[in-house]
Structure 1
Amino acid sequence: MSETDVFQQHISRQYDHELLDVRGRIMTLGGLVEAQVESAVAALSSGDVELARKVIEDDYKVNSLEVAIDEECTQILALRQPTARDLRLIVGIIKAIADLERIGDEAKRIAYQAIDLAGHFPKRNQLSELERLAESVRAMLRKALDAFARMDVDASIQVVKDDRQIDRQYEGIMRQQITYMMEDARSIPTSLDIMWSARSLERIGDRSCNLCEYVIYYTTGKNIRHVSIEQIAQELQES
């Protein structure tokens, strides 16, 4: 083997290591964000102000890791100039970390609402629907992260379909809280906090869908943002 071949082999191995490393780091970010969401929801449900403050304080960890991964991806683009499938992977990762960072922001917003709610803690029945929505969203985020880790198209399609149930739960909470406010003006501060929390959870669901869209784009080359998920599923079955 010539020196040129040995050098090219070394470069190839180093490049593979860089791709593997960046994929590992995005899963670390995903785990951190998932923990932030779980803690924020727990603080909201229990009225735990200290836990809510910890979520807010720890947001810098999400931001720092997102910046570090973005810089690593930028280096790969500049130095390796990936093409085709590898390029789609890097582009997908850059977009995914932006969505994960925003999920972290939504967790922080929920934590702020938890602190506010602790001053006028709602009745148990007012939180029950919100807690169900939170559990659905957390499950969706877990599935989306798992699908991204395995680059699983079928699992990604299912997550995108599941978002419709999240939307229905969110709309139900909004109607419920509007009814409470109409019946008793004293419930307005509490209901507004619950509505803002529900909005943040619904957005986390949307961001989870985005992660799965990147999986489908990376694996198939299809951009599904403006195409129905049923159409994509049908096309993949036929291909």
Structure 2
Amino acid sequence: MPRENYQEKLDQLRDDVVAMGELVGERYDAAIEAAATGDDELAREVIEGDHEVNETYLGLEDDCTELLALQQPVAGDLRLVTASFKVITDLERVADLATNLAGYGGPDGGVHPAVEFRELGEDAGQMVADAVAAYEAGDAEACREIAARDDDFDERCRQASEAVVRELLEADRARNEEATEGRGATDAEADAEALEASLDEVSRALLAVRDLERVADHAVNVAARTLYMVENDDELIY
């Protein structure tokens, strides 16, 4: 392959990875909206549309494999191809998490009152978008800044999970206090139903927080691979 065509292939690979990032971002934003509002139809659209991301991923995987096998790139070109392969893997996993997140909305909308779900979701999504932008621009400093933001995000997720569990314990304590007052069988059945609904809401909330934290982790992975691509620096890879 002539050198100019080879360079075109590398440039196209980078452009296609960025385009995949934009596609995943659209799916992710829709998932956050679906969960935050309890929009079942939008949630189904997110889940059913995941095949488009998977097909994009497989096509880019083939492109990376072809460049590695046929062109045997070295130095910076090799880092671009290998980093791109890692980046699309993380983006595909963000899309998978989006399909999970889309289904966490409750029947009355939202995830759990103790979780600032939309804010957390938007911030995690912004981290992914910023990581893809850093990959596109080859911005090493932005990569380090994204990794630094992750510590704060992890702490916010921890606090959200604790708040959900705390509310569950307080509600259970209140039910136990009422039970000691000698309530009837009908009240007991109602309490059991309320407890089941509460446990379901708590379970969905904890899963949602966990998945948002994973989305942010994938953003850091993209930043880490980009930093390695740009500066041959593996400090963020773990």
Bin the TM-score by the shorter chain: 0.7 to 0.9
For residue 12 of structure 1, report the CA deviation from its aligned partner.
0.2
Give the 5 Å matches for 1:221-232. Answer: 221-225=232-236
* 2:74 aligned residue: 83
Distance 1:27 1:74 in 2: 18
Contact 2:21 2:91 survives alignment (8 Å):
yes
| CA distance in structure 1 between the aligned counterparts of 2:83 and 2:156, rounded to whole angstroms | 29
Distance 2:109 2:4 in 1: 56
For 2:79 and 2:111, the matched residues in 1 are separated by 48
CA deviation profile, 1:118-177 (whole Å, cap 9, x unmatched): 2x64687334x2222112112211211111110100111100100011101100111011
1:219 matched to 2:213 = no
Name the counterpart of 1:44.
Answer: 35
Structure 1 distance, partners of 2:142, 2:114, is: 33
- Return 5+ residue gaps in structure 1 as ranges: 1-9, 228-239
Structure 2 counterpart of 1:165: 152
Correspondent of 2:206 among 188, 192, 195: 195
Question: Could you tell me which residue of structure 1 aligns to residue 138 of structure 2?
Answer: 151
Deviations 1:37-92 (A, max 9, x none): 10000011111100000000010011100000000110011111100110011000
Asked if structure 1 preserves the Cα contact closer than 8 Å seen for 2:39 and 2:109, the reply is no
State whether residues 20 and 53 of structure 2, in contact with CA within 8 Å, keep that contact through their aligned partners in structure 1: yes
User: Could you say what secondary structure the match of 1:77 adopts?
Assistant: helix
In structure 2, runs of 5+ residues without a counterpart are: 173-194
Structure 2 counterpart of 1:191, which letter? V
Between the aligned partners of 1:11 and 1:103, the Cα distance in structure 2 is: 36
Show the counterpart of 1:208: 219
Aligned positions of 1:108-147 closer than 5 A: 108-114=99-105, 117-118=106-107, 121=109, 125-127=113-115, 129-147=116-134
Aligned-residue sequence identity (percent) comes to 28
1:183 corresponds to which of 170, 177, 185: 170
Q: Does 1:104 align with 2:95?
A: yes
Moved over 6 A (4+): none
Cα distance in 2 for partners of 1:149, 1:30 equals 10
- Name the counterpart of 2:4: 13
Tell me the distance in 2 between the aligned counterparts of 1:42 and 1:83: 43
Q: Distance in 2 between matches of 1:31 and 1:226?
A: 23
1:13 maps to a residue whose letter is: E
Please tell me whether Structure 1 or Structure 2 has the larger radius of gyration of its CA atoms. 2
Please, what TM-score do these two structures have when normalized by structure 1?
0.85
Letter of the aligned partner of 1:150 in structure 2?
Answer: A
The aligned amino acid for 1:39 is: A
- The one-letter code sitting in structure 2 at the alignment partner of 1:125 is P
Structure 1 CA distance for aligned equivalents of residues 155 and 114 of structure 2? 17
Counterpart CA distance in 1 for 2:154 and 2:121 is: 12
Provide the secondary structure at the position in 2 that maps to 1:162: helix
Could you say which structure has the greater relative contact order, defined with CA pairs below 8 angstroms and 6 or more residues apart?
A: 2
Q: 1:223 aligns to what SS in structure 2?
A: coil
Q: How many residues align?
A: 214
Say what the alpha-carbon RMSD is for the aligned residues. 1.6
TM-score when normalising by structure 2: 0.85
Hey, what's the Cα distance between the residues in 2 that align with 1:195 and 1:124? 9
